[in-house]
C-alpha cells in the first residue's frame, strides 16, 4: 500500500513529460501537402530558366552570370532544406524559423525579379524567367503556410 503514492507520482511525472513534449510539437495537417507541393515547385523551378537562358541550377552553382544568386541560395535553404527538417521533427521553434526564412527569401525573390528587369543603361534588363517567377510564388506560399502553422499555437507552456 505504501508503494501506491510513489507509483502515482511517477505516473504523474511521466504524463507531465509527455504533455510538455507534445506542446513543443505541431501537426501541420493538410498544410503538409501544400508545403510538399511548394517544395516540389521550387525544385522544378531550378530546371526552368531564371534569367535569359540561364536555369536556376546554373544560377545556384554560379555557372551563370546572373543577378538572383542570393535568392537561389535562399530558396534552396528556406524552400527545400528547412521545410524537410521541420516536417520531420515538427517543432514549433523550427516552424517559426521556416516562417522567418521564407519571409527573407520572398523579399529577396521579389527584389531578384525587379533587378532582372532593370539595368544601369536605358535598355531594359533580360527580365525574369518562368523558373524565377515560379520559385518566388512557391516561397510566398511557404511563407503563408509556415506563418499559419507557427501562429496557430494555442498557448505557450
Domain carrying residue 75: 27-151
Let me know if residue 18 belongs to a domain.
no
Let me know if residue 2 belongs to a domain.
no
Let me know if residue 124 belongs to a domain.
yes
How many folded domains does the chain comprise?
1
Contact present, 73 and 82 (Cβ < 8 Å): no
Let me know if residue 91 belongs to a domain.
yes
Contact present, 150 and 85 (Cβ < 8 Å): no
Let me know if residue 56 belongs to a domain.
yes
Let me know if residue 13 belongs to a domain.
no
pLDDT, tens digit only, all 157 positions of the chain? 445 677 777 777 776 676 666 666 788 888 899 999 999 999 999 999 998 888 999 999 988 777 789 999 999 999 999 999 999 998 889 999 999 999 999 999 999 999 888 876 767 778 899 999 999 999 999 999 999 998 887 555 5
At 116 the pLDDT is 85
At 18 the pLDDT is 65
Let me know if residue 144 belongs to a domain.
yes
At 37 the pLDDT is 97
Let me know if residue 127 belongs to a domain.
yes
Distance CA 79, CA 72 (A): 10
Distance CA 24, CA 38 (A): 25
Query: How many CA atoms lie less than 13 Å away from 44 in the CB half-sphere?
Result: 13
- The helix or strand, by DSSP H or E, that contains position 110, with its residue range, turns out to be helix 92-117
Contact present, 136 and 113 (Cβ < 8 Å): yes
Residue 153, C-beta contacts closer than 8 angstroms, at least 6 positions apart:
26, 92
At 1 the pLDDT is 47
At 113 the pLDDT is 92
Contact present, 100 and 83 (Cβ < 8 Å): no
At 44 the pLDDT is 97
Distance CA 31, CA 17 (A): 27
Amino acid at each position: 500500500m505504501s508503494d501506491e503514492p510513489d507509483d502515482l507520482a511517477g505516473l504523474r511525472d511521466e504524463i507531465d513529460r509527455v504533455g510538455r513534449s507534445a506542446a513543443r510539437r505541431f501537426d501541420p495537417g493538410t498544410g503538409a501537402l501544400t508545403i510538399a507541393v511548394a517544395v516540389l515547385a521550387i525544385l522544378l523551378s531550378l530546371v526552368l530558366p531564371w534569367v535569359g537562358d540561364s536555369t536556376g541550377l546554373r544560377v545556384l552553382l554560379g555557372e551563370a552570370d546572373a543577378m538572383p544568386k542570393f535568392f537561389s541560395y535562399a530558396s534552396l535553404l528556406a524552400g527545400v532544406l528547412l521545410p524537410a527538417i521541420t516536417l520531420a521533427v515538427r517543432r514549433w521553434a523550427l516552424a517559426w524559423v521556416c516562417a522567418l526564412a521564407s519571409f527573407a527569401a520572398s523579399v529577396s525573390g521579389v527584389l531578384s525579379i525587379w533587378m532582372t528587369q532593370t539595368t544601369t543603361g536605358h535598355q531594359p534588363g533580360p527580365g525574369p524567367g518562368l523558373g524565377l517567377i515560379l520559385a518566388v510564388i512557391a516561397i510566398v506560399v511557404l511563407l503563408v503556410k509556415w506563418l499559419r502553422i507557427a501562429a496557430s499555437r494555442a498557448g505557450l507552456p
